[in-house]
Amino acid sequence: MLQQTRVAQGTPYFLSFTTVFPTVFDLANASEEQVLKLWQGLGYYSRARNLHKTAQTVAHEMGGIFPDNYDDLLKLKGVGEYTAAAIASFSYNEAVPVVDGNVFRVLSRYFDLETDIAQASAKKEFAALASELMPKDNPAQFNQAIMEFGALQCVPKSPNCSICVFNNSSIRDMLQRKKWETDKTV
Ligand code: SF4
């Protein structure tokens, strides 16, 4: 529900859905028309169709038991690597890294990586790095912390590095060196 959607915008829809369809069986047994009607105004209607289809799969093929690991979550319609990693780590404490735009930014700045994130191989590289850093006994907290850090502190434009916990002398030296090198070329 929150793909490309702010929490404030999605919350009323989440509340309506959970009121009208309190269990996965209620959602699975609803008609597509009912589901789309409740979704009206939220856009990206394929999400509603995928949610409905997944509810049917879980209700009718899995006995109402939601998959509890990354590989099985990936088999659900509409669930990609990002969503599967988020659910598996937040809900089941599985050590799989969540790699979104915030994570790309934090890691590339902190480690001074030049990798172009548009490249197909970039995701693999950042996922491997995040995996290496992740404490295996607390993947949920690590994933949520790095995503939140990117969203609130290490923001895309003009982050306030002067108050950043990672702004230690070695990082500062590196940034200053980079700035000096850039200044030299202009
Ligand atoms: S020092 Fe600045 S660039 Fe580095 S992690 Fe902190 S906010 Fe991001």
Which pLDDT tens digit goes with each residue over 100-152?
999 999 999 998 898 888 888 898 999 999 999 999 999 999 999 999 999 99
Ligand 1 neighbours by CB, cut-off 6 Å: 109-110, 153-154, 159, 161, 164, 166-167, 171
Range from 46-55, 105-114, 171-180 that averages highest in pLDDT:
46-55
Atom in ligand 1 nearest the alpha carbon of residue 159 = 7
Question: Among 140, 154, 147, 141, which residue's Cα sits nearest to residue 126?
Answer: 147
Would you state the pLDDT for residue 171?
55
Domains in the chain, CATH or no CATH each:
7-66 (1.10.340.30), 101-185 (1.10.1670.10)
Q: Which of 157, 167, 175 to mutate to test the pocket of ligand 1 (most atoms within 8 A of CB)?
A: 167
Q: How confident is the model at residue 3 (pLDDT cuts 50, 70, 90)?
A: confident
Q: How far is the CA of 111 from the centre of ligand 1 (A)?
A: 10
Q: How far is the CA of 29 from the centre of ligand 1 (A)?
A: 48
Q: How far is the CA of 17 from the centre of ligand 1 (A)?
A: 39
Would you state the pLDDT for residue 118?
83
The H-or-E segment that residue 21 falls in is: none
Q: How confident is the model at residue 180 (pLDDT cuts 50, 70, 90)?
A: low
**Mean of pLDDT over the chain:** 90
Q: How confident is the model at residue 4 (pLDDT cuts 50, 70, 90)?
A: confident
CA atoms within 13 A on the CB side of 87: 15
Nearest-CA residue for ligand 1 atom 8 is: 154
Which pLDDT tens digit goes with each residue over 15-36?
999 999 999 999 999 999 999 9
Ranges of H-type helices in 1-121:
7-20, 24-29, 32-39, 46-61, 70-73, 81-92, 101-110
Q: CA–CA separation, 16 vs 1, rounded Å?
A: 12
CA atoms within 13 A on the CB side of 2: 9
Q: Which of 109, 162, 173, 177 to mutate to test the pocket of ligand 1 (most atoms within 8 A of CB)?
A: 109
Torsion angle of the four alpha carbons 100, 86, 152, 39, in this order, in degrees rounded to the nearest 10: 90
> Which amino acid is residue 59, in one-letter code?
A
Instruction: Examine the pLDDT at 10 and tell me if it is beyond 90.
Output: yes
Q: Could you tell me if 35 and 27 are in contact, meaning their C-beta atoms sit under 8 angstroms apart?
A: yes
The structure tokens listed for 2 are 């929150």
The structure tokens listed for 147 are 């995503």
Instruction: Examine the pLDDT at 83 and tell me if it is beyond 90.
Output: yes
Q: How far is the CA of 156 from the centre of ligand 1 (A)?
A: 10
Note if the pTM is more than 0.85: no
| Mean pLDDT confidence for 59-64 | 96
